[in-house]
Amino acid sequence: RKEVEQDPGPFNVPEGATVAFNCTYSNSASQSFFWYRQDCRKEPKLLMSVYSSGNEDGRFTAQLNRASQYISLLIRDSKLSDSATYLCVVSLMDTGRRALTFGSGTRLQVQP
Amino acid sequence: DAMVIQNPRYQVTQFGKPVTLSCSQTLNHNVMYWYQQKSSQAPKLLFHYYDKDFNNEADTPDNFQSRRPNTSFCFLDIRSPGLGDAAMYLCATSRDGYQPQHFGDGTRLSIL
Confidence of residue B77 (pLDDT cuts 50, 70, 90): very high
Average pLDDT value for chain B: 94
pLDDT, tens digit (0-9, with 9 covering 90-100), for A2-12: 789 998 889 99
For residue B18, the SS3 value is coil
Residue A26 forms contact with B (CB below 8 Å): no
pLDDT, tens digit (0-9, with 9 covering 90-100), for A41-52: 899 999 999 988
User: Considering only alpha carbons, which residue of chain B is nearest residue A38?
Assistant: B42
For residue A81, the SS3 value is helix
- Among A31, A44, A105, the residue with its CB nearest the CB of B98 is A31
A15 in Cβ contact with A110 (< 8 Å): yes
User: Considering only alpha carbons, which residue of chain A is nearest residue B97?
Assistant: A98
Distances (CA, A) of A1 to A5, A26, A81, B90, B110: 8, 8, 33, 25, 32
